[in-house]
Amino acid sequence: MRVLILGDASVPHIHKWADILRELGNEVEVITFEESLEDKVLRLKVPGGKFKYLLGIPKLKGLTKELKPDVLFPHFIPNYGLIAYFLKGFKVLAIWGSDINVWAKKTSVHNFLAKIILKNFNLIVCDAEMIKRTLVEDFGIREDRVFVIPFGVEREIRERPLKELPFDEIRILSFRRHEENFNHFEILRFAKMYPKTSK
């Protein structure tokens, strides 16, 4: 299958997706408007600051006709999700979290735009059940169109009760930005409760 990823290739997340999809036997192309961390990425250099995404749509339309992907796979609602709205094909959108939990809730206009963009996709991928719940309950997306694919902790560890894990101690590392929507204090509150709940 031929997959065309549209996303900010200056962050590792895009390349992880590309590597995983290639390992599964897919032919993967990545198109970005930003400088890339790795080679094998097609960068579209379009002037216009924040408007570069919209200004780059004609060029992107030409490339998608040329590449003929089976799946368009844009990442993040307000930029690559927005431009993919104007492209034809089977479309799968990757939600990153801050796009749905922060950007889409800024104003009623942002919320309206997010709903229009989201409903244009055949499927949506996110990495947490909480985000899926938000998409279904707050944005009216059908549950069977949203797939949760967690990143990070192995399934063997993630799906076992904490008290059954074969560790003498549990270490929690968070490498997210220190912003309110990442809920770092929830993790600290849980850590404080854990010794009480594990007895």
Mean pLDDT by runs of 10 across the 199 residues of the chain is: 96 93 96 92 90 94 96 97 96 95 95 97 95 96 95 71 71 68 75 61
The model's pTM is: 0.82
pLDDT on residue 199: 47
C-alpha span between 62 and 117 (Å, rounded): 21
Contact 51, 11 (CB under 8 A): no
Contact 28, 15 (CB under 8 A): no
pLDDT on residue 186: 78
> Count of domains in the chain?
2
Residue closest to 40 by CA, chosen among 58, 22, 55: 22
Regarding whether 164 and 143 lie in a shared domain, the answer is no
pLDDT on residue 173: 67
What are 71's strand-pairing partners? 3
Q: How far is CA 5 from CA 13, 22, 41, 159, in A?
A: 11, 12, 10, 30
Regarding whether 16 and 69 lie in a shared domain, the answer is yes
Residue-wise DSSP of 55-82: HTHHHHHHHHHHH--SEEEEBIIIIIIH
pLDDT on residue 175: 64
Contact 134, 102 (CB under 8 A): no
175 is in which domain, residue-wise? 160-197
pLDDT on residue 177: 67
Q: How crowded is residue 11: how many other Cβ atoms within 10 Å of its Cβ?
A: 16
Q: How crowded is residue 6: how many other Cβ atoms within 10 Å of its Cβ?
A: 31
Regarding whether 29 and 97 lie in a shared domain, the answer is yes
Regarding whether 185 and 108 lie in a shared domain, the answer is no
Regarding whether 131 and 47 lie in a shared domain, the answer is yes
Q: 60: domain CATH number?
A: 3.40.50.2000
